[in-house]
């Protein structure tokens, strides 16, 4: 297994700590004039998303986490697992429910998304920043109201529910920002 020295610490570096993979969010070196130097880091647990603070003696070695990101195509779910494919190698990966929890509501089959692999199995899946999805259910809006003042919930083809302006009808394809979950606009097809 490869290791990193604290002198290689930088934001985004993936390390293994107590068996869990972490990414470094912030790295600060602290050195008293006449004393031991330390690296104080904020690290995010890639399994549960929680950020914690740890301090290492400068010069210490820390195990690297074999974590990488790959663009993959979402294929289908068999009810238990979610299947993705690397479009370059055609290699297929199956992800557990926990790995896709936050993003599956934005994905429809054949969409490209970012899969974070840890020891070659999907750890988390990130949807594209913007997705275009069809509204499958929403209350009829008020005719002629294009002010966008009010809003109403709309269910999309993937099951996600977003707030849309009153004038947007069922059957319309809309663009959504997956980071905020907010409606961006209608897509003219």
Q: Contacts with another protein: how many residues (CB under 8 A)?
A: 21
Nearer to another protein, 37 or 68 (CB): 37
- Of 12, 33, 79, 149, the residue at the interface with another protein (CB under 8 A) is 33
Cα distances (angstroms) measured from residue 126 to each of 69, 146, 152: 10, 33, 26
CB of 16 vs another protein, minimal distance in Å: 12
Q: Are strands 51-57 and 152-156 parallel, antiparallel or unpaired?
A: unpaired
Nearer to another protein, 64 or 85 (CB): 64
- Of 3, 5, 26, 29, the residue at the interface with another protein (CB under 8 A) is 29
- Residues between 41 and 100 with contacts to another protein, criterion CB under 8 A: 52-57, 60
> What DSSP line would sit under the chain, residue for residue?
--EEEGGG--TT-EEEETTEEEEEEEEEEE--TTS--EEEEEEEETTT--EEEEEEETT-EEEBP-EEEEEEEEEEE-SS-EEEE-TTT--EEEE-HHHHTTTGGG--TT-EEEEEEETTEEEEEE--SEEEEEEEEE----TT--S--S-EEEEETTS-EEEE-TTPPTT-EEEEETTTTEEEEE---
Nearer to another protein, 52 or 96 (CB): 52
Contact between 40 and another protein by CB under 8 A: the answer reads yes
CB of 101 vs another protein, minimal distance in Å: 28
Stretch binding another protein (CB under 8 A), from 25-33, 84-92, 130-138, 143-151 = 25-33
Nearer to another protein, 16 or 168 (CB): 16
CA 111 to chain centre: 14
CB of 45 vs another protein, minimal distance in Å: 14
Nearer to another protein, 56 or 93 (CB): 56
**Chain positions contacting another protein, by CB under 8 A:** 7, 17, 28-38, 40, 52-57, 60
């Amino acid at each position: 297994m490869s290791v990193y020295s604290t002198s290689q610490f930088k934001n985004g570096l993936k390390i293994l700590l107590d068996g869990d993979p972490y990414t470094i969010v912030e790295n600060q070196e602290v050195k008293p004039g006449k004393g031991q130097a330390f690296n104080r880091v904020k690290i995010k647990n890639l399994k549960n998303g929680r950020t914690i603070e740890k301090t290492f003696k400068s010069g210490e070695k820390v195990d690297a986490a074999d974590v990488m990101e790959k663009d993959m195509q979402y294929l289908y779910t068999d009810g238990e697992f979610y299947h993705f494919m690397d479009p370059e190698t055609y290699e297929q990966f199956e992800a557990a429910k926990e790995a896709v929890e936050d993003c599956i509501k934005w994905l429809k089959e054949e969409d490209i998304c970012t899969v974070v692999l840890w020891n070659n199995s999907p750890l988390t899946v990130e949807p594209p920043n913007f997705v275009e999805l069809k509204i499958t259910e929403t209350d009829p809006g008020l005719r002629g109201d294009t002010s966008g003042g009010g809003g109403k919930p709309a269910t999309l083809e993937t099951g996600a529910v977003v707030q849309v302006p009153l004038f947007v009808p069922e059957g319309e394809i809309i663009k959504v920002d997956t980071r905020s979950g907010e409606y961006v606009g209608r897509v003219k097809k």
